[in-house]
Amino acid sequence: MGKKAWNPRDQYLWGTVVFGPCGSNQVFKKFEDLVKEKSLFKEQICKVDETGLYYRMLPTKTLASRKEAAAPGYKRSKDRVTVSLCGNAAGMHKLPVMLIGKSVKPTAFKNVNVESLPAHYRALKTAWMNQ
């Protein structure tokens, strides 16, 4: 059995923000009603999420030896990439990982064909997923 082709017209986008447990039951009820109303299958329900990866950040706490009163201070590095993941509720369709960094041509990709990587890389000035 081959893979099914992904058609964006078959997908229904649903986005919401829930603050605390008070509104979460209502949101899930609305979502369940929408799924029933549209007769959606698990293959048609997708979830996209993002997270920040601070790849040079050191731990915030450290152990000092008995001879030292405190560990020497340092400035925290804020070098980051945003990692975006997407898949459907059935787990059958997963899009490639999207990495968003600050540099258009990172030095780590100096001798690498970016198109051959198993993830997509894009550059934004802030490395946040805001566009």
Q: How confident is the model at residue 2 (pLDDT cuts 50, 70, 90)?
A: very low
Q: Does residue 3 belong to any structural domain of this protein?
A: no
Mean pLDDT of 57-78: 63
Q: Does pTM surpass 0.75?
A: no
End-to-end Cα spacing for the chain: 37
Q: Does residue 29 belong to any structural domain of this protein?
A: no
How many separate domains does the chain show? 1
54-61 long-range Cβ contacts below 8 angstroms, 24+ apart: 54/78, 54/79, 54/80, 55/79, 55/80, 55/81
Q: Does residue 13 belong to any structural domain of this protein?
A: no
pLDDT exceeds 60 at position 46 = yes
CB within 8 A of 117, min separation 6: which ones? Answer: none
Q: Does residue 131 belong to any structural domain of this protein?
A: no
Tokens standing for residue 28: 């899930």
Q: Does residue 25 belong to any structural domain of this protein?
A: no
Q: Does residue 58 belong to any structural domain of this protein?
A: yes
- Determine the Cα–Cα distance for residues 79 and 25; give it in Å rounded to an integer: 37
Output the average pLDDT for the chain: 77
Residue 52 belongs to what domain range? Answer: 45-123
Q: Does residue 77 belong to any structural domain of this protein?
A: yes
Question: For the segment 13-30, what is each residue's pLDDT rounded down to a tens digit?
Answer: 555 555 555 566 788 888
Q: Does residue 93 belong to any structural domain of this protein?
A: yes
